Each structure stands twice: as structure tokens, then as C-alpha cells.
Amino acid sequence: MKLLEERILKDGHVKGGNILKVDSFLNHQIDVNLYEEIGKEVYRLYKDSGITKILTIEASGIGLACVVAKEFQVPALFAKKNRTKNIDGEVYAAAVESYTHGITYTIIVSKKFLNPEDRVLIIDDFLARGNSLLGLVDIVKQSGAALVGCAIAIEKGFEEGGAILRGKGIRVESLAIIESMSEGKIVFKNQS
């Protein structure tokens, strides 16, 4: 998605350890107009897939999931990283190793919100090693729902996550795929 790539080049910053900072518009402060365009593009890519539910993980994926869910006119659902008092009843659970925080945590989704009749699209802001997405895929599998695919704002194409998911036969649509990056330089796939 050209608009997203241009915004990454304009306002994104590469930090040591392959960290891309896009917090000024994507995952801390949010450019709602950009989000709306992302929602429209994801809808264009998956509009004929019969999607009934949008699934993401807290916290950075929630905003994107909401704009995508609005386009599809379906609910957005997010996996929680901690069980809270307001989640009652049975849950689906999966272990996820956090690339950013260096810890493993259990994500949960209430069983009352995901069932075998659902056709699920997973949404996230980033795809690097794929740990969060694999956890969400596991939860969809546990529920018996059909996984339609994954839509990602930014994929680090030089990390293994995209290849792992695609290798499992999962449709992955990333709106901006970074082939390489270093301080002061970001190269997108099909641009090198």
C-alpha cells in the first residue's frame, strides 16, 4: 500500500535491534485517516471471503481491527494478555512469546465470542517472527472456526514470521513489506 509505505518513509525511524518506530502514526499516536485507508484496503483484499469476525491481540492491533471490522460490518474481537475479573466462563488460550518484551504470556479469548460457524480474519500492526499471529491461529483452530487469513499493516520481510505462516498454507496480506532496513534507510519488497 503506497500510502502506508510513504508514511513509513516520512515518519518511521529505525532503531538498533531491527526496531522500526512508527509510534507517531500507527501504534501509539494514531492517524485515524490512515487507519481508515488501511481498513478500506484490507476490505478490498478480503471482501469476498465471507468474514464474520475480526480477531486481533491487545493492545496495538485493536484500533486496526476496529476500522477493518467497520468496513466488513462484523464484530472485532481481541485476545487479552491477562485474565481479568470481567471474563467469565470458558476461554481459548495459547502461549505467545513477545518479541518486543522478551517474555512469554498466555492470551485468552472467551469461548462465547468465537465458534465453529465463524470465518475469521486476523489483524495486526506488525509481523516479524509471527509469534502473536501463531497464537491467534491456535485460538481460531481451538474454536473450530475457519481461518480466512491474516492482514498485517507492516511485515518485516527479513524476519521468518511471514514465511512460517505462508508455509502453513495461511493467506497473509501485508500492506507494507520491508525487505531491509538500517538507520536512515528502509527498502520495501519490490522496490530494491
Q: Is 132 annotated as a binding residue?
A: yes
Report the C-alpha gap between 1 and 37 in whole angstroms: 9
Q: Is 27 annotated as a binding residue?
A: yes
Q: Is 20 annotated as a binding residue?
A: yes
Query: Of the given ranges (10-19, 92-101, 165-174, 183-192), which has the lowest mean pLDDT?
Result: 183-192
Residues spanned by the domain of 118 = 2-188
The pLDDT of residue 99 is 66
Give the bridge partners for 177, in sequence order.
155
The pLDDT of residue 85 is 62
The pLDDT of residue 5 is 96
Q: Is 130 annotated as a binding residue?
A: yes
pLDDT above 70 covers what percent of the chain? 95
What DSSP string describes 28-66?
SS--HHHHHHHHHHHHHHHTTS---EEEEETTTHHHHHH
Count structural domains, the chain. Answer: 1
Q: Is 175 annotated as a binding residue?
A: no
Q: Is 16 annotated as a binding residue?
A: no
The pLDDT of residue 60 is 87
Report the C-alpha gap between 97 and 113 in whole angstroms: 24
pLDDT band at 192 (very low <50, low <70, confident <90, very high): very low
CATH number at residue 71: 3.40.50.2020
pLDDT above 90 covers what percent of the chain? 80
Q: Is 128 annotated as a binding residue?
A: yes
Q: The whole model's pTM is what?
A: 0.93
